[in-house]
């Protein structure tokens, strides 16, 4: 064997059992290792090789570090909400309104001074932690006013409404299209549909948002006579365009992974193609479809630009899907650029971001740990 | 044998699924058609090479194109090496069952699922408020705010983070497509593992790395949410000259022009044309990536 001179050689003793471990691991993974390869792994400890491997591992580990950093820093900026040393709004919303329109109604200069003081140094207000949390579940989101209110309820409802619309539109279309590709479609149709999905997935969200804002909103208003041009339904419909590729791709993937024997058994028993598709292939791929839906929901919930442009951005609490809504993500996108660093509004926006992050993280973890493993087990078991 | 109900289903299930597929194709065509028709009239060389004029109601979008270009270049310089090395780790070094590899894989998948706006928040909270402010304290004693504010460097780094999973997934696929025999031949000749990776695996997966970079650029050029408050500017007459400058960006320009512009109707043409430019840009990149990926798959089949 020709040894590169730059590499350090060290006695066998250094290699030790750890190296052996590595050898067996390598050989297991690559399936077969040449005998000479086994030899040099056992014999020599190479410093350069060792360092490179550690460096590569360290850099790969960065991805994990980034997740931790995102956790740490998004939560760090949101933390003051819970520390109770800083209150969100001083009292509940009703007395607060009085303050806005005139402190003379309250009648004491002390109150006015308190208000001014609060605006400058909110840290000095202590001890109303419960009021803080209570105000966060309030029904008014009015962060930019002389008497700001940070009720998250309208934003949460807005996000939910848009997500529900988006998933309700996207899921059937995407799942049936995936079924079409894997069960019924002639070859040419597959060759049209798959690149089309890739194109759809490649649309920047701002382009979909723009299309929804200009074309879709007007079309829907003319077609259905909506009172508001931009509303939760339009936003959700636009959002479904971004969700369809995700649900389609994962569903199609899990449909094609359904073992051929199952399909063939079903056909051999006399089932027709649609029966096989609907009652054999589709149920077998349920965990995959479930995963697809979860990831679709995650995407819809966190998507910013589309909802920012197409939902009208009015923070109102209502069950009507045809009224404008303001979602959590859109609030961050629209308001973060104008807030003062470190003030309450900034903190609350970061809190919203933390919620979005936690939500997507949870969905992803469910998909990763629960669904994928189950899907694997189901298919390998059969 | 077949009952009427079966016949009905036998027709309607395939028909319904075909209809859904058709709806998708139709929507894509509608979007492309609408934007091409709307933007074609305004598109001209002056539009591509000029700066916005008269309070952004006329003129071109050159600063936005340049800003987008600079953004994706810096992003790639940072993101592609990290992504490639992570992919090398996942495919060459890590055993599939090791906990570390699973942690990395989980992190990559999680990173891919984090909403874009959260990346923006992270960029603001970490790069600007944490790193930037400290850089200012060290460099200027905190007197002058230079790095502790939105700029193109922080925006690019944020975007690099967002596009990292794209690079990793694509490069890993390409590395795995390199035939095992090549690696074994190299190892059998006495090359070390790292030499094998450097001289055999990487040169053979260079198209994959390129694909990853292109897909990342396409994604980065299209995302707006992460740069909303990490560096994109409403209007800048001059191009960014240093890393601590703000910049204009195509996607952000579309957003601003179509929602915050003083006269939204009057600038409709500009909005459409800007969208068309962005769409053409991302499409070209995506098609290039698809083509390269097709070539990799052909090679791995052979």
Q: Which domains does chain B have, with CATH numbers?
A: 39-301 (1.10.3720.10)
Q: Which pLDDT value is given to residue B84?
A: 94
The mean pLDDT value for A265-275 works out to 89
pLDDT exceeds cutoff 90 at A33 = no
The mean pLDDT value for A26-37 works out to 45
Quick check: ipTM above 0.85? yes
CB atoms within 10 A of CB A31: 8
In chain A, which residues have their Cβ closer than 8 Å to the Cβ of B136?
none
Give backbone dihedrals phi and psi of B53, rounded to 5 degrees, phi first. Answer: -130, 165
Say yes or no for a CB contact (<8 Å) between A202 and B283: yes
Residue B67 CA, distance from chain mean position? 14
pLDDT exceeds cutoff 60 at A18 = no
Q: Nearest-CA neighbor of B128 among B154, B102, B103?
A: B154
In chain B, which residues have their Cβ closer than 8 Å to the Cβ of A203?
31, 222, 279, 282
Say yes or no for a CB contact (<8 Å) between A69 and B122: yes
Say yes or no for a CB contact (<8 Å) between A200 and B122: no
The mean pLDDT value for A73-85 works out to 78
Output the CA angle B51-B54-B60, nearest 5 degrees: 25
Q: Which pLDDT value is given to residue B244?
A: 83
Say yes or no for a CB contact (<8 Å) between A309 and B224: no
Q: Which pLDDT value is given to residue B302?
A: 56
Say yes or no for a CB contact (<8 Å) between B85 and A60: yes
The mean pLDDT value for A224-245 works out to 90
The mean pLDDT value for B97-106 works out to 87
The CA distance from B256 to the nearest CA of chain A, in Å, is: 10
Q: Which pLDDT value is given to residue B122?
A: 93
pLDDT tens by residue, B113-129: 899 999 999 999 999 98
pLDDT exceeds cutoff 50 at A129 = no
Q: Which pLDDT value is given to residue A121?
A: 38
Q: What number of H helices and E strands is found in chain B?
A: 13, 2
Q: Which pLDDT value is given to residue B197?
A: 92
The CA distance from B191 to the nearest CA of chain A, in Å, is: 8
pLDDT exceeds cutoff 90 at A142 = no
Q: Which pLDDT value is given to residue B76?
A: 93
Q: Which pLDDT value is given to residue A108?
A: 40
Q: Which pLDDT value is given to residue A133?
A: 62
Q: Which pLDDT value is given to residue A152?
A: 86
The CA distance from B132 to the nearest CA of chain A, in Å, is: 14
Q: Which of B85, B103, B279 sits opposite A64 (nearest CB)?
A: B103
Say yes or no for a CB contact (<8 Å) between B194 and A49: yes
The mean pLDDT value for A251-279 works out to 89
Mean pLDDT computed over every residue of chain A: 76
pLDDT tens by residue, B125-140: 999 988 988 888 888 7
Q: Which of A177, A183, A353 sits opposite B118 (nearest CB)?
A: A353
| pTM exceeds cut of 0.90 | no
């Amino acid at each position: 064997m020709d040894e590169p001179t730059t590499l350090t050689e060290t006695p066998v003793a250094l290699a030790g059992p750890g190296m052996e471990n590595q050898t067996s691991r390598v050989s297991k993974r690559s399936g077969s290792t040449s005998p000479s390869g086994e030899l040099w792994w056992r014999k020599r400890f190479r410093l350069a090789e060792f360092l490179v491997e550690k460096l590569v591992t360290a850099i790969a580990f960065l991805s994990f570090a980034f997740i931790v950093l995102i956790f740490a820093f998004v939560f760090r900026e949101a933390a003051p909400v819970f520390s109770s040393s800083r209150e969100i709004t001083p009292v509940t919303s009703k007395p607060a309104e009085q303050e806005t329109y005139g402190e003379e109604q309250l009648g004491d200069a002390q109150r006015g001074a308190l208000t001014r003081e609060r605006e400058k140094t909110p840290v000095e207000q202590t001890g109303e932690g419960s009021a803080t949390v209570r105000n966060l579940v309030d029904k008014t989101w009015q962060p930019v006013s002389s008497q700001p209110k940070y009720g998250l309820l309208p934003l949460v409802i807005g996000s939910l409404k848009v997500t529900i619309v988006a998933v309700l539109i996207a899921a059937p279309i995407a799942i049936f299209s995936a079924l079409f590709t894997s069960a019924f479609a002639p070859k040419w149709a597959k060759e049209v549909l798959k690149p089309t999905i890739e194109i759809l997935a490649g649309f920047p969200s701002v382009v979909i948002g723009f299309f929804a804002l200009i074309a879709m909103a007007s079309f829907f208003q003319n077609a259905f006579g909506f009172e508001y041009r931009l509303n939760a339904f339009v936003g959700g419909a636009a959002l479904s365009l971004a969700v369809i590729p995700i649900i389609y791709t994962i569903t199609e993937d899990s449909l094609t992974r359904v073992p051929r024997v199952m399909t063939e058994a079903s056909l051999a028993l006399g089932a027709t193609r649609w029966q096989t598709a609907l009652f054999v292939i589709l149920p077998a791929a349920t965990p995959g479809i479930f995963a697809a839906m979860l990831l679709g929901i995650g995407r819809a919930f966190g998507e910013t630009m589309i909802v920012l442009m197409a939902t009208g951005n009015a923070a109102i609490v209502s069950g009507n899907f045809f009224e404008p809504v303001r979602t959590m993500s859109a609030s961050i996108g629209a308001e973060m650029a104008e807030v003062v660093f470190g003030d309450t509004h900034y903190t609350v926006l970061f809190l919203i971001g933390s919620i979005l992050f936690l939500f997507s993280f949870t969905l992803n973890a469910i998909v990763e740990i629960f669904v994928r493993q189950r899907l694997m087990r189901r298919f390998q078991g059969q | 044998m077949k009952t009427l109900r079966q016949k009905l289903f036998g027709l309607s299930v395939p028909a319904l699924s075909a209809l859904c597929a058709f709806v998708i194709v139709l929507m894509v065509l509608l979007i492309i058609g609408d934007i091409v028709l709307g933007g074609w009239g305004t598109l001209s060389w002056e539009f591509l090479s000029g700066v916005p004029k008269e309070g952004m109601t006329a003129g071109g979008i050159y600063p936005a194109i340049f800003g987008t270009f600079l953004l994706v270049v810096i992003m790639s310089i940072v993101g592609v090496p990290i992504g490639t090395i992570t992919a090398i780790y996942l495919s060459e070094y890590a055993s599939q069952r090791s906990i570390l590899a699973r942690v990395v894989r989980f992190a990559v998948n999680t990173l891919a699922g984090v909403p874009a706006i959260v990346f923006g928040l992270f960029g603001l909270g970490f790069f600007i408020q944490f790193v930037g402010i400290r850089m200012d304290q060290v460099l200027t004693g905190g007197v002058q705010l230079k790095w502790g504010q939105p700029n193109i460097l922080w925006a690019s780094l944020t975007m690099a983070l967002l596009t990292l999973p794209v690079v990793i997934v694509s490069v890993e696929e390409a590395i795995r497509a390199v035939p095992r025999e090549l690696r074994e031949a190299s190892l059998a000749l006495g090359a070390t593992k790292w030499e094998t990776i450097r001289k055999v695996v990487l040169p053979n997966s260079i198209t994959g790395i390129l694909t990853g970079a292109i897909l990342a650029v396409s994604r980065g050029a299209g995302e707006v949410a992460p740069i909303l408050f990490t560096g994109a500017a409403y209007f800048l007459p001059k191009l960014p000259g240093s890393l601590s400058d703000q910049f204009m960006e195509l996607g952000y320009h579309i957003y601003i022009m179509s929602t915050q512009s003083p006269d939204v109707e009057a600038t409709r043409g500009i909005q459409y044309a800007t969208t068309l430019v962005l769409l053409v840009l991302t499409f070209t990149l995506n098609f290039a990536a698809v083509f390269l990926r097709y070539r990799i798959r052909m090679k791995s089949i052979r």
